[in-house]
Structure 1
Amino acid sequence: MKDSCGCFFIRQRDHSLCDFLLTCASSFALSWFYDAVGFQVGLWLYGTDRNLQRSCPGGSRRIHHHRCVRQGGNILRHVGCIRPKTNEILVGKALKKLPREKVQLATKFGALQTKGYDAAINGRPEYVRSCCEASLKHLDVDYIDLYYVHRIDTSVPIEETMGELKKLVEEGKVKYIGLSEASPDTIRRAHAVHPVTALQIEWSLWTRDIEQELVPLCRELGIGIVPYSPVGRGFFGGRGVIGAVPGKSLQERFPRFQPENLEKNKVFYTRIKKLANKHDCTPIQLALAWVLHQGDDVVPIPVKLAEDDLREISDAVPIEEVVGGSTHEGYARLSWRYADTPPLRAGKLSA
């Protein structure tokens, strides 16, 4: 299993995990975000799987999409925007054979892949609109349920970006707006222009830096939290521990997966595996359950654990003992810590 974008990127061999999540998933009724999400299936690598350096077949994906919707009810279909349009076209074809009202569709804009692993960030109003129009065309749908700002353009006041998104909502092309890797100041300012429905942010057993500032802010404003990489970029599924880190993969560039750091970090997988045996589940299910138990504003809870059990799981991965950063240098500069935008000039934002 490769986790991505706060979702679960399920390959063909992961159907048993898909069944587990679908069986356990429930929905809650606080707002659209809580009702709709249920749990998420991440599709950002569909069409061009860069981690495996090969093309993903569309036919098997469509079969899998249909199976998930038949079994699961509320599912958020998450499409990546940094990938070529093939991604959205494949998902759009799959949607044609599914009841649209049962599929909550999310996609993103604002990050354009350039050379290698670098990305150009663009939050200008005209780009916001052009990306939305392109996604609607590629997906062949009339509206997008949840439209994310993939990364924050720190050269553009967030009010300008949100102003255009607000217009798209008013035009019926977008239902709800989400942010990804936004700083506290940016979140507050964005929310003042139009309510933000969801914040996508990295959160897992070994990445918990959002808990002091971002989580309380989201709860103050009523913003749902969508954790990406909830199983530590595959680490708690055994990546780099049971087997080697795949060559030419994203993980190769992450400090925590560098040989000298990975060797020290393996102790955390060992601890989680022991606890998983205690709870009669797999390490990946346990790590995921920990994330899901962080609150009703995160995602539905697939399993029930006692407070003592949750504490034991958290204590198994003391965050101060984790060696290496959670992402490589190129992406680190795009994180929420560096996502403040310039102030809006007087009279700049149109009604």
Structure 2
Amino acid sequence: MIRTTELLTRNPSDRIQVLDADGHVVTPELVPDLDDETFIAIYRDMQFCRRFDERIISLQRQGRLGTYSSLAGQEGAQIGSTYALADEDVISYQYREHGAVVARGFPWEYLLYWAGDEHGNAALADKNILPLNITIGDHLPHVVGMAWAAKLKNDDHVTVAHFGDGATSEGDFHEALNFAGVFDVPAVFICNNNQWAISVPTKRQTASATFAQKAHAYGFEGVQVDGMDPLAMYAVTDAARKKATQPTDGRPRPTLIEAIQYRFGAHTTADDPSVYRDQADVERWRQRDPLSRFESFLRNTDRLDDDEISRIDSEIENTLANLIEPVEEHDANPDEMFDYTFAEPTGRLRDQREYLDSLRTTYGDEALLQEK
């Protein structure tokens, strides 16, 4: 069995993999020691993410939800890493890692955010997930601060940050990692390298051979992983968590995980990826689809069959139907957008509220909601 210290001290250019593109085990010593129910649960959540993605994009195209960021192709990294965490571990994510929410028990209120209601973010607090973050990379210093606070309070949990490769070009990334290395905070940084930061390719994002090696400049380990392999992501995240909470030398250490994967769809529903990338590249990456390779692994190990897949499909369809209905029946209060912006309203905020009131007087609440 490979020890935690050995797994995380490899050369950052040595990509860790458990399953090949066809779902065959290539590193048996890294297969997690999980029961069959947990393996099936991981598969179910990955399938749910893909179907959720398709459904939400369809609803957005119909004008029933707002702009949405697709996760298709990245299910393995998000689900695999979250299953390796404890329930008390805090997750802070960018805006594409819906899989982390799914793995923690998907609250229907999460969809309210994509309908323009911030109550969708508030619903995540009970899952130990911080609000969705749109501003690139600015959540990273907050993650480090929370991890440092946990260390000072002797809390036995880690704080996990998800972000894209584009965030590594932000100052917040470097400040956060430098602080994490100096103060030995129990944090795990997961860089979801999906090859594109909107239309900017990885080769234009950094001159480093890997993103993982950037951790070395700040005094801790960085490791590169096949992000489309959920078992590899589980193994590495589990090792990183143990290094942060159960250090052999009494010194908790952070880890930077670079998850190599590919965004199958557009950056958001407002993007046209055909303008900047070749469809042939997309098809090549689809040969590594995390869903099909994990399904092959489960079938090959007699954990999954057609009957179980059919049962899972029906369960997912019912769950999605039950999620969407209460969102569309929910009535948001437009006044709330003015209540929490500042402690004291500014002149401009008062003017905007008065303008909304004038529209309400002229057209009524129902017309405003329809316009939304």
The normalised TM-score by structure 1 is 0.34
- Larger relative contact order (C-alpha < 8 A, sep ≥ 6)? 2
**Structure whose residues are more often helix by fraction:** 2
The normalised TM-score by structure 2 is 0.32
If you compute each CA radius of gyration, which structure gives the higher value, 1 or 2? 2
**Structure whose residues are more often strand by fraction:** 1
